[in-house]
């Protein structure tokens, strides 16, 4: 059962791992906690543990997968919500997603052509520089 956000004074706070999961930046809460433990998450330029509290106005930087997400907290939530609501909980300052470099198709065979023959294998090896 999820706890409501705790209050320190009158500002609501939530655990960073719980908040990252709630706003759908990570797919699971253990993934968010692992990112924190691995040093991939910072809150206001300080390394964050999974239990680090996050409040409105905090700047969160997280390396998730091969992408760096930089967000500012605009709303603190602790329960996972729909994607439309989740995007209202932060302002995204992340750099754009880099385009994937398309690699040349290599050694593609027609469907149903069977296994490469010895001659085909030698040609493939020559192309690979072996």
- Transcribe 7-39 into DSSP letters: EETTEEEEEHHHHHHHTTSSSSHHHHHHHHHTT
Q: How is domain 6-92 classified at the CATH fold level? A: 3.10.290
d(CA 5, CA 115): 60
Structure tokens at 124: 């493939």
Residue 113 pLDDT class (50, 70, 90 cuts):
confident
The helix (H) or strand (E) run that includes residue 124 is: helix 118-128
Domain boundaries, the chain: 6-92
Of 35-39, 72-76, 90-94, 106-110, minimum mean pLDDT range = 106-110
Burial (CB < 10 A; 0-12, 13-18, 19+), residue 45, is: exposed
pLDDT (tens digit per residue) in 7-42:
556 789 999 999 999 999 999 999 999 999 999 999
pTM of the model: 0.72
φ, ψ dihedrals at 60, nearest 5°: -115, 130
3-state SS assignment for residue 103:
coil
């Amino acid at each position: 059962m999820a706890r409501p956000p705790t209050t320190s004074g009158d500002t609501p706070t939530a655990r960073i791992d719980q908040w990252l999961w709630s706003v759908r930046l990570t797919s699971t809460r253990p993934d968010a906690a692992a990112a924190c433990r691995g040093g991939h998450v910072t809150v206001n330029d300080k390394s964050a543990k999974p239990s680090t509290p996050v409040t409105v106005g905090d700047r969160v930087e997280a390396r998730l997968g091969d992408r760096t997400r930089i967000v500012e907290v605009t709303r603190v939530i602790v329960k996972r919500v729909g994607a439309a609501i989740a995007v209202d909980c932060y302002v995204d300052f992340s750099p754009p997603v880099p385009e994937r470099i398309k690699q040349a198709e290599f050694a593609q065979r027609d469907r149903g052509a069977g296994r490469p023959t010895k001659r085909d294998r030698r040609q493939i090896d020559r192309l690979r520089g072996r």
